[in-house]
Structure formats: structure tokens, C-alpha cells
Amino acid sequence: MNDKYKKNLGTVFTPPITARYIISRLGEISKKVRILDPCVGNGIFVKELLRKGISPEQIYSFDINPIYRNNILKLGVSFESMDTLLSFSKKEIEKYDIIVGNPPYLNKSSNYVKTNKKQLKKIYGKINSHETYSMFIVNGIWRLKEGGRLGFITSDSFLSLRTHEKLRNFILSKCIINEITLPPKDLFLKQKVKISPAIIILTKCSGEINKQKREENIIRVIPRLKIEGQYWNPPKIIHVKQKDYHSLPFSIFFIDVEKEIIELFKKAPKLEKYLKGYIGMHTHNNRRFIAAIEGTTLAKNFKKKNLKIKNKDEKFIIIPRKELESSYWKPYLKRGGKDQYYRPIMEAIKWDEESKKNYDIPKNVPFEREGIIISGISSRLAARYMPKGCYWDSNKAMGFILNNKNLSIEYILGLLNSSFYNYLAKGIINNTSSIQLTGIHTLPFIIPDKLTKEKVEFQVRKIIKKKKEDPNYDFSQEQKYIDNLIFELYSKEFDLPKELKIKLDTQFSIYK
């Protein structure tokens, strides 16, 4: 099968060692059970089942691509060329004892999901209809008999992303989670697939009568492995009580989180009580309405682009900074990135009456107030000072306003940019390059004592002053001091382990 066809169908082949491990975690397989691979592909799971001595008559396989039919039939195994997701019916409910496989990796922008959007939403919309692999998990649980087991390898994004909260709650309400294992990050790299994989093993255990059994279940969790050979003897095994997956925001399926941090999320007030975030506005045409401010790196970039553009009306707009003093332009914040504490405003938005008619401007958003901008797209939690008079975008930059007079913007900036908060936000809530406003709101917050607050404020004011003088100022020493202050503050309340400080310093600080 050529690469283009594989991409259109989201096909990724499972290495034999990984397939063998998944099957080994499904327990003893008797001669009476019915086994389904709902996306059989080249049949690696079928081959491993047969190698284990399972009768071909016990195995059933589906795939949307008929190209696999002959090879699977040669193995003596039943094959049906069908769309597993769309062909689901009431007749398929609780039909199989074991379901195993590697569901296709397609998201909402794929041709398949776009083409079948209405049907998929009708079947899976109440749980998740964004990615095919997540729909396969739901489909598999529906097809499983009570007490039956499912073993899938998928993208690990369902473990923490906010968009998969309904899927996680569905799993928690229907299944015992036996195991979550993170295979090597580069497992599919030879196939030019860069997703981070996760293996999940489930036992169907639904109904209110089984609620306590599900909640008291102890999950075997294996953090990210370096090589496939570590499956059977992993460097670290963590045991998590299943009900603890309800403790963190959005029912995140965490992998390696300290019990003290779980208690912190359970007991501490949420940041939203003290700092309120708002989604910004949308211009519908940035090229037409947004200008770069003279002297900024963005203006230099615009000048280079304009040299290649012959039509005057199509050129990027560049304005002098003094134009921000007029009512015709407003300072505009729309860029994400890792910049912390301070960054010169690079963009402005047209603010004449005719231009404003084109914008989507949300009501009850306190634009123009002094506050904090947090990058929506960044590899780390990055917050910087927002002066009065600013407007902000609806995507890469999120505006936050303090709603507690006893706190200061300087203290909150120090807290948000600390290694501790970077761990909470990017190590737990969302470990992708993006973070959502709701994720920031759910972070636990402790009111600082007077001395800690003043020390953090002093360091932050120093950083901002120096960065105004030199945007490339190295503030790692000040940040290290802030990191220590924040860690000590939260340790007093929740007795955080010293091992966590080592993790923060080596994985989540800017000076590592």
C-alpha cells in the first residue's frame, strides 16, 4: 500500500514485539472466547494470536481496506471489508470477549472524518467524534461483553487533552483500567508517524453495581519506555487507584504524579477565583486590519515580505509607535511563544468605526485593563505583563485580569512562570504545545505570605526592568530564586517531596 493511501486511511502498522506485549496483557485466552481485531491491517495481532496457539476459528477481523482480505483469509481467519465505525448496530453490542488492535490515526481535518461527519457525530457525538482512534475505543467498549477485555495502542493525546474529557469519563464509567503503558516515543518513526503512543488495557465492568469495584481498582501504569525490550521488565511501575483519575481537572489519566500533588488539586482553591481569563477577539482578516509597529522584529519581517510584493494594496502594514497614541490604532496582542514577563508590543489593530464593524468582539471582556497575557501556544507556561489599553486575539494569546486586590500582577507573573506552575500546567494538565484558558483556571492556588509575596514581586520587577532595556536579558538567576520561593510556599502546605524539586529543576525550569 502506498504512503498516500496509508495516510488517507490513518494506517499505522504495529511492530511485532509491541503486538506480542499487548496480547500478553489480555490474560489467559480460553477456547470459547470470540476475539475481534476491528482494524486488522496487515494482521500482526492475528499472527501473534495464532502464534500463541489460538484457533483461527475464534478470531474475527474487520478492515475498511479490502486489500488485506487475501492475506488474512490465508491465515484461516474470518475477514470482513467494512467500516467498523459506521457499521456499528445494536446487534454488535456485547458480542466479543476480547478486542485488540491499532486503530487508525485520523483527526477532524482528515477527509474521512469530514466526509462522514454527520454519521459519526450521530453515533459518537455524545462522547467523542474528533479522532478515529477515540471513536474506536468507544466502539470497542460497546462491542465487548461484560467482563471482556480490550487492548489498544493509540495516540496518547486522549490521556490528558481537554477535548477527550467525555471519552475518559466514559471509560471510567464502563471499565476497569488494567494498564496504561507508554511505549517508546519513536515507535512509529520509521513509518514517518510522529505521534506519541499509549497502550491501554481495559476490562468491561459497567453499571452502578460495579462502581465501587471500578473506583477501588489499582491501575498498573508504566511511564514512557526507551525501547520495546523494556515492556516485560520496565524501569518503573506506578500503581494508581482508579478513583484518583477523578481528582485532577478534566479527569486526566495521569501517568506519574505525586500523591501530594493530587492532594493539592483536591484541596486548594482554583486560580480562577483570583485570576480570570478571557477569550479575545477575531478580525477575520489580519492582513487587512493588523499592522506591525515600527522598530520591532515583526516590522523587519514585514519589510522583507513587502520587497517581494509589487501590488501596493497587498503589502503588509507598518506604523510608527506614536500612532498608538491616536484613537485610530490600538495595541494588539496575538502572538504565543515562550517569552516570559515582558515583550514589546509588536502589533496594532485598526480601530476606526468602519473597521470595527468587521470584528467579532466578545461582550463583557475587560479589554484595555492592565493584566497578564498567557501564551496559548508554547512548549512551556509563559506569562508576560499586559499594559493598559490592549486588545488581544482569540487563539495564541489569552488575556487575564486580577480579581483580588490583595495580590499583584508581579506576584502572579512570578508564580505562572515558575517551574512548579510549569509542571502543573504542562506536565500534568496539558503536555502538548497548547494550553487552554480552562486549564489555567483549574490550577491550584495558595495565598502567599507577605514576605514570599514581596520577595517574588521584587524579582519580577527587576526582570521586567532589565528586559525593557535588553529583550535578551538572561533572568535565569532571578527565576531560580523565584522557583525556590514558590516551591517552599507550596511545600509548607502540602509537604512536597524533595524528589519533586529535582524533577522541577531538571525538566521544568528555564535554567536546566
Contact predicate 12/102, CB 8 Å = yes
Contact predicate 48/24, CB 8 Å = no
Residue 190, pLDDT score: 86
Integer CA distances (angstroms), 99 to 151, 467, 469, in order: 6, 56, 61
Residues 137-169: pLDDT tens digits?
Answer: 999 999 999 999 999 999 999 999 888 999 999
The whole-angstrom separation of Cα 155 and Cα 103 is 9
Residue of higher predicted confidence among 127 and 7: 127
Residues 453-475: pLDDT tens digits?
Answer: 999 999 999 999 999 999 999 99
What would the mean pLDDT of 84-106 be, rounded to a whole number?
Answer: 93
Listed residue (472, 466, 493, 374) closest to 426, CA to CA: 374
Residue 191, pLDDT score: 85
Q: CB-based contacts of 2: which residues, under 8 Å, 6+ apart?
A: none
Domain ranges for the chain, please list them.
3-23+37-220+228-236+243-254, 257-274+405-512, 275-403
The whole-angstrom separation of Cα 259 and Cα 209 is 28
pLDDT above 60 (res 134): yes
Cell representation of residue 228: 520495546
Residue of higher predicted confidence among 129 and 125: 125
**Three-state SS at 473:** coil
Bridge partners, residue 181, by sequence = 199, 222
Note the helical H segments in 52-193: 69-74, 111-115, 117-124, 132-143, 165-174
Bridge partners, residue 331, by sequence = 348
Integer CA distances (angstroms), 35 to 52, 68, 134, 205, 392, in order: 13, 18, 20, 18, 53
pLDDT category at 108 given cuts 50, 70, 90 is confident
pLDDT above 70 (res 1): no
Averaged confidence pLDDT in the chain: 94
Q: Identify the DSSP state of 504.
A: I
Q: What is the CA radius of gyration of the chain?
A: 26
What would the mean pLDDT of 425-448 be, rounded to a whole number?
Answer: 92
pLDDT category at 90 given cuts 50, 70, 90 is confident
The whole-angstrom separation of Cα 315 and Cα 296 is 17
CATH class (in words) of the domain with range 3-23+37-220+228-236+243-254: alpha beta
Residue 8, pLDDT score: 56
Residue 12, pLDDT score: 85
**Continuous segment of H or E residues that includes residue 335:** none
pLDDT above 70 (res 10): no
Listed residue (265, 254, 259) closest to 441, CA to CA: 265
Contact predicate 138/170, CB 8 Å = yes
Contact predicate 104/39, CB 8 Å = yes
Residues 194-247: pLDDT tens digits?
Answer: 889 999 999 999 999 999 999 999 999 999 999 999 999 999 999 999 999 999
**Continuous segment of H or E residues that includes residue 296:** none
Residue 510, pLDDT score: 87
User: Among the listed ranges 162-176, 340-354, 397-411, 429-443, which one has the minimum average pLDDT value?
Assistant: 429-443
pLDDT category at 314 given cuts 50, 70, 90 is confident
Residues 331-389: pLDDT tens digits?
Answer: 999 988 999 999 999 999 999 999 999 999 999 999 999 999 999 999 999 999 999 99
**Model-level pTM?**
0.87
Q: CB-based contacts of 318: which residues, under 8 Å, 6+ apart?
A: 291, 292, 293, 294, 299, 302, 303, 306
pLDDT category at 4 given cuts 50, 70, 90 is very low
Residue 64, pLDDT score: 93
The whole-angstrom separation of Cα 288 and Cα 317 is 8
pLDDT-above-90 percentage for the chain:
86
What would the mean pLDDT of 187-194 be, rounded to a whole number?
Answer: 86
Residue 9, pLDDT score: 63
Q: CB-based contacts of 205: which residues, under 8 Å, 6+ apart?
A: 146, 147, 174, 175, 176, 213, 214
User: 145-176 burial, b if ≥16 CB within 10 A, otherwise e?
Assistant: beebbbbbbbbbbbbbbbebbbbbebbbebbb
Residue 512, pLDDT score: 60
The pair phi, psi for residue 500, each rounded to 5°, is -65, -40
Residue 5, pLDDT score: 44
pLDDT category at 2 given cuts 50, 70, 90 is very low
What would the mean pLDDT of 276-287 be, rounded to a whole number?
Answer: 94
**Three-state SS at 329:** strand
Cell representation of residue 422: 510549569
Residue 244, pLDDT score: 95
- Using the Cα atoms of residue 504, residue 505, residue 506 and residue 511 in order, give the sign of their dihedral: positive
The whole-angstrom separation of Cα 176 and Cα 172 is 7
Cell representation of residue 35: 476475539
Residue 7, pLDDT score: 52
